[in-house]
Amino acid sequence: MSNATTTHDTWRLGSLTVRRIGFGAMRLAQHGPAFEPGSPPRDRASAIRLLRTAVDLGVDHIDTASFYFSALRSANELINSALQPYPDDLVIATKVGPGRSPAGGFLPHARPEQLRGQVEQNLRELGRDQPDLVYLRVLGADPIAERFGALAELRTAGLIRELGVSNVRPAQLAEARAIAPVVAVQNPFGLGAPPEQRALLRRCGELGAAFVPFYALAGPARAAGRTAGSNAAEHPELLAVARAHGASPAQLRLAWTLHQGPHVLAIPGTGSAAHLAENLAAGALRLTPDQLALLDGLVEQPV
């Protein structure tokens, strides 16, 4: 298997072009599950080396947020320190909406008038004049027009390049698209995804918007707390397909996700250089129709 520079096709995020496997920074600042109190901070030098290795291997899409931080580390600061001056082709996506207190607890989602401050915080931390892509992260089914409209005004003013939405329902996506172009939808998705998630993925393809799954390596069971990558918890069918390709179960999960459509991007996160290389190599896996049908039928239950 080759690395990201040779095996990945690309997708356009509005005016931006990215390879289909990027890097998610959610776990960059700490060991263990993100946002878990007491998780030890990740070694700063190791995190910086990992980011530089990712870019060296061809990663041109990094997903982050100002609320990705631990007691001693900030994902945005690590990205800034590791990658300045930024490569011309590097796309950095961030999210606004949620906030966290200095102690790490989550705050009520920002009101429309607070979103500019969150965008500017990301710019300061990343050392950039303009974010490439800003997602409005949504919680619940409430209307989002006022909040997304505030971000659309910032885009019109030149403070933001492209807009996306995260954790949304179909009605919220339609609401946002009536206000401004939505180039990407970042929602939970992975092997065993329920029909409504699969339908939204297909809808994004029809609209020409990227679908960017989070928990693609996890699925419902692991997202609920099971340790990712544990072969003991894997489906025998998945393990059999993985063996046929000489690949790990995590690589199979990523490959299956990418096979769901050319508009599907992946942003797996890791603190390990070895796992980073494995994730990028998953883009070279080509699953047969029979293998896809087998994996499509797997069901995962939360634990």
Catalytic residues: 68
Q: Are 1 and 281 in contact (CB under 8 A)?
A: yes
For the beta carbon of residue 91, count every other beta carbon within 10 angstroms. 22
Q: Are 217 and 268 in contact (CB under 8 A)?
A: yes
Helix (H) or strand (E) holding 82: helix 75-83
Q: Are 132 and 174 in contact (CB under 8 A)?
A: no
Distance CA 28, CA 146 (A): 32
Residue 41 C-beta-side C-alpha neighbours within 13 Å: 13
**Radius of gyration over alpha carbons of the chain, in Å?**
18
Peptide bond into 85 cis (omega under 30): yes
Q: 131: closest CA among 149, 157, 106, 108?
A: 157
Residue 52: what residue type?
Answer: R
